[in-house]
């Protein structure tokens, strides 16, 4: 349970972990949490909110993304994202689809 603008809210375990990691006990924390700020049961309203997410994040002073507690594969995941980015950049530059090398495929396979 957390206190948000004077209202007690029941939250899930992942959000609880994220808030404990991000929060500084001495300071207030203004934070956008999709699961709390968007009514997840209202599909139409949720879709409208998703459309403005870019503006919300653009206006942020700092953006942090919670992907969960450490699991031991973070470094490899970042490496895979780097590989994917290079491929996307190459496609944008040349317009030609890019193949993954055997080394890249081996790296990505370690995430399964």
In a 13 Å sphere around the CA of 107, the CA atoms on its Cβ side amount to: 16
Which residue has 């490899």 as its token pair? 76
For the question of whether the overall pTM of this predicted structure is more than 0.85, the answer is no
**Number of structural domains in the chain:** 2
Q: pLDDT tens digit string along 10-33?
A: 888 888 888 888 877 777 777 788
Q: pLDDT tens digit string along 77-95?
A: 888 888 888 888 888 888 8
Report helix, strand or coil for 77. helix
Q: Say how many Å lie between the first and final Cα of the chain, rounded.
A: 34
* Measured CA distances, 98 to 83, 84, 87, 106 (Å): 11, 10, 6, 16
Give residue 91's pLDDT. 85
Give residue 111's pLDDT. 66
Q: What is the dihedral of CA 33, 35, 40, 45, to 10 degrees?
A: 10
Range of the domain at 48: 2-58
Would residue 69 count as lying in a domain? no
Distance of CA 109 to the CA centre of its chain: 22
pLDDT at 6 over 80: yes
User: Is residue 43 domain-shared with residue 78, that is, in the same domain?
Assistant: no
Would residue 25 count as lying in a domain? yes
């Amino acid at each position: 349970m957390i206190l948000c603008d004077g209202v007690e809210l029941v939250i899930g375990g992942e959000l609880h972990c994220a808030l404990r990691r991000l929060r500084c006990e001495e300071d207030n924390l203004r934070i956008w949490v999709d699961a709390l700020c968007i009514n997840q049961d209202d599909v139409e309203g949720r879709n409208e909110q998703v459309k403005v997410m870019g503006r919300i994040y653009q206006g942020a002073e700092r953006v942090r993304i919670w992907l969960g507690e450490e699991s031991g594969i973070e470094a490899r995941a970042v490496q895979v994202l780097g590989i994917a980015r290079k491929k996307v950049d190459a496609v944008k530059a040349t317009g030609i689809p890019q193949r993954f090398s055997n080394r890249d495929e081996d790296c990505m396979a370690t995430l399964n």
